C-alpha cells in the first residue's frame, strides 16, 4: 500500500492510496475496528469476497435513486451501524456517488471509503466530495458534499472493465491533460499511447496519479464549487451534455460526448482567437490519437440549442463554456448561438 497524496476540501481531508492487488484493499479496510458495509453492483460483486457484508445495487445509472439509498441505510441500521462505522463503495462512479450520498446522511454522516473500479471513477468521481442520486430524468439533482476519508485505487480492478468503459474514462484523463498546469500528463499520454491502451499496470499507476493531481489542483481552490474554479473541470461537458441529450443519452458514450465537446470548445477558441493555435493543434491530435470519434455532426441543431437552454435553466445561471487559452489557462464564457451553430453543424 502506498499513500499517493492527501487532498484538503474545507474541513475534510481525503487520503488517496494505491494498492497493487485486490486482496490488499480488504486488508487495508479491515484494519479499522469499525463495522464495514460494502456497496457494489452486480459487476463488481463478482470481484468482492463472499464473506463481506454488502448491498448489491443494479448496474449503471438506473441505480442512482432513493430506493438504493434507503436499501443501504436499512441494511446498516439492521446491523446496528453507528456513526463511526464505515460504508465502502466498491464500484464505478454510480456506486461511489450513491454510497457516498448514503454515508453523508446516515446518522448525519458515517465513515466513508471509496474504492473506484472504473477508470472514470478513479480519475474523477472518487475525488472531490460530490455525492448524488438522480430524480426523474434529472441527473444528480439530489446530493451533498461529503469527501471520503480514504480513496483506494487498485489498477488490477480495471482488468475486467470493458474496453468501452475504459475509453470513457480516458476522455476525462485527456480533459485533465488539457487543464494541467504543466506538460507532464499531456506528454505522458502522447508517448505511452500503446501501453495505456494495453492497461499496463506501471503506466496506469503514473497515469492515475498525474490525472488526480490535476483534479486536486482545481477542487482544493473551490471545495464547494462556489468560486468558479471547479467550473474548469466542465471543459467539454456543456457541449457534451447537449450532445448526449440529442442522442437520448444512449447514442453517445459519456466520454465520447465529452471528447467531442472538448473539440468544439477548441474550435470556438480558435474562431474567437482565444486559443493558442499550437496548443489547439496538439490537443486535437491527442483526441484523435486516443480514437475519439470526432466526425459527429449535429443534424437537429434546434434540439441541440434547446438542450443547452434546459441545462442553463437547470443551473439557473448563465450558461458558461470553458474555452482554453492555452494549457491550464481558460476562460468561462457565454457564447452566441451563431458561433455554437457554426461549430456543431
Ligand atoms: N461525484 C463526482 O464528482 C462525479 C464525477 C464524474 C462522474 N460522476 C458520476 O459517475 C457516474 C459514471 O461513472 P462510471 O462511468 O464509472 O459508470 P458506472 O458506475 O455505471 O460503471 C460503468 C459500468 O462498468 C461496470 N463496472 C464497474 N467496475 C467494473 C469492473 N472493475 N469490472 C467490470 N465492470 C465494472 C459497472 O457495473 C457499469 O456497468 C455517473 O453517474 C456520473 O454522474 C460523478
Domains in the chain (CATH in brackets) are 2-161 (3.40.50.1970), 230-344 (1.20.1090.10)
129 lines ligand 1 (CB under 6 A): no
Is residue 230 annotated as part of the catalytic site, yes or no? yes
Could you count the other beta carbons within 10 Å of the beta carbon of residue 214? 25
In this structure, what C-alpha cell is assigned to residue 67? 430506493
**Do 88 and 54 contact (CB within 8 A), yes or no?**
no
pTM over 0.85: yes
What per-residue confidence (pLDDT) applies to 315? Answer: 64
User: Rounded to whole angstroms, how far apart are CA atoms 92 and 122?
Assistant: 8
DSSP letter at 122 equals I
118 lines ligand 1 (CB under 6 A): yes
What per-residue confidence (pLDDT) applies to 237? Answer: 94
Strand partners, 322: 332
Question: What is the pairing mode between strands 329-333 and 138-142?
Answer: unpaired
User: Rounded to whole angstroms, how far apart are CA atoms 103 and 31?
Assistant: 19
Question: What is the pairing mode between strands 138-142 and 133-135?
Answer: antiparallel
49 lines ligand 1 (CB under 6 A): no
Q: Please identify every stretch of the chain with a pLDDT value under 50, giving residue numbers as ranges.
A: none
Short-list 29, 235, 37, 212, CA closest to 128: 212
DSSP, collapsed to helix, strand or coil, labels residue 250 as coil
**Do 116 and 156 contact (CB within 8 A), yes or no?**
no
> Ligand 1 centroid vs 173 CA: distance in angstroms?
15
User: What digits encode the pLDDT tens for the residues 152-187?
Assistant: 999 999 999 999 999 999 999 999 999 999 999 999
140 lines ligand 1 (CB under 6 A): yes
What per-residue confidence (pLDDT) applies to 32? Answer: 83
DSSP, collapsed to helix, strand or coil, labels residue 330 as strand
In this structure, what C-alpha cell is assigned to residue 256? 465520447
> Ligand 1 centroid vs 155 CA: distance in angstroms?
15
Is residue 237 annotated as part of the catalytic site, yes or no? yes
DSSP, collapsed to helix, strand or coil, labels residue 66 as helix
Task: Quote the distance between the C-alpha of residue 109 and its chain's center.
Answer: 22
Is residue 213 annotated as part of the catalytic site, yes or no? no
The b-or-e profile of 74-106 (16+ CB within 10 A means b, else e) is: ebbeeeebeeebbbbbbbbbbbbbbbbbbbbeb
What per-residue confidence (pLDDT) applies to 316? Answer: 55
- Cα dihedral 69, 74, 79, 84 sign: positive
> Ligand 1 centroid vs 281 CA: distance in angstroms?
31
User: What digits encode the pLDDT tens for the residues 60-116?
Assistant: 999 999 999 999 999 999 999 999 999 999 999 999 999 999 999 999 999 999 999
What per-residue confidence (pLDDT) applies to 313? Answer: 62
Catalytic residue chosen out of the listed positions 190, 209, 220, 225: 225
**Do 115 and 25 contact (CB within 8 A), yes or no?**
yes
Could you count the other beta carbons within 10 Å of the beta carbon of residue 341? 14
Short-list 164, 187, 151, CA closest to 289: 187
Find the Cα–Cα–Cα–Cα dihedral 50, 53, 59, 65, rounded to 10°: 170
What per-residue confidence (pLDDT) applies to 234? Answer: 96
* Unique residue bearing C-alpha cell 477508470: 119
120 lines ligand 1 (CB under 6 A): yes
> Ligand 1 centroid vs 89 CA: distance in angstroms?
11
Q: Hey, which bits of the chain come out as E strands?
A: 2-9, 12-18, 36-41, 54-57, 86-91, 111-116, 133-135, 138-142, 150-153, 321-326, 329-333
Amino acid at each position: 500500500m502506498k499513500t499517493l497524496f492527501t487532498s484538503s476540501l474545507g474541513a475534510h481531508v481525503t487520503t488517496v492510496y494505491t494498492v497493487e492487488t485486490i486482496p490488499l484493499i480488504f486488508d487495508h479496510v479491515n484494519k479499522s475496528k469499525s463495522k464495514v458495509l460494502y456497496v457494489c453492483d452486480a459487476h463488481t460483486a463478482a470481484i468482492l469476497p463472499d464473506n463481506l457484508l454488502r448491498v448489491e445495487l443494479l448496474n449503471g445509472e438506473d441505480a442512482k435513486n432513493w430506493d438504493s439509498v434507503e436499501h443501504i441505510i436499512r441494511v446498516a441500521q439492521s446491523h446496528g451501524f453507528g456513526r463511526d462505522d464505515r460504508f465502502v463503495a466498491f464500484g464505478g462512479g454510480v456506486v461511489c456517488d450513491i454510497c457516498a450520498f448514503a454515508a453523508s446522511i446516515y446518522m448525519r454522516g458515517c465513515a466513508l471509503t471509496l474504492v473506484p473500479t472504473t477508470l472514470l471513477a478513479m480519475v474523477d468521481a472518487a475525488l472531490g466530495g460530490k455525492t448524488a442520486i438522480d430524480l426523474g430524468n434529472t441527473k444528480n439533482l439530489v446530493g451533498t458534499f461529503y469527501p471520503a476519508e480514504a480513496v483506494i485505487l487498485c489498477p488490477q480492478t480495471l482488468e475486467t472493465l470493458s474496453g468501452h468503459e475504459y475509453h470513457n474514462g480516458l476522455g476525462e484523463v485527456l480533459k485533465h491533460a488539457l487543464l494541467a498546469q504543466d506538460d507532464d500528463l499531456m506528454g505522458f499520454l502522447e508517448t505511452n499511447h500503446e501501453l495505456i491502451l494495453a492497461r499496463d499496470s506501471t503506466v496506469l499507476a503514473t497515469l492515475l496519479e498525474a490525472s488526480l493531481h490535476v483534479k486536486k489542483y482545481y477542487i482544493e481552490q473551490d471545495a464547494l464549487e462556489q468560486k468558479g474554479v471547479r467550473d474548469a473541470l466542465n471543459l467539454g461537458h456543456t457541449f457534451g451534455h447537449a450532445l448526449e441529450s440529442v442522442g437520448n443519452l444512449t447514442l453517445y458514450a459519456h466520454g465520447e460526448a465529452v471528447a467531442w465537446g472538448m473539440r468544439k470548445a477548441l474550435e470556438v477558441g480558435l474562431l474567437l482567437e482565444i486559443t493558442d493555435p499550437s496548443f489547439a493543434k496538439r490537443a486535437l491530435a491527442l483526441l484523435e490519437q486516443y480514437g475519439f470519434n470526432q466526425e459527429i455532426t449535429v443534424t437537429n441543431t434546434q434540439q441541440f440549442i434547446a438542450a443547452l437552454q434546459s441545462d442553463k435553466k437547470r443551473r439557473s445561471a448563465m450558461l458558461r463554456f470553458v474555452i482554453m487559452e492555452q494549457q491550464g489557462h481558460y476562460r468561462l464564457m457565454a457564447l452566441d448561438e451563431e458561433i455554437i451553430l457554426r461549430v456543431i453543424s
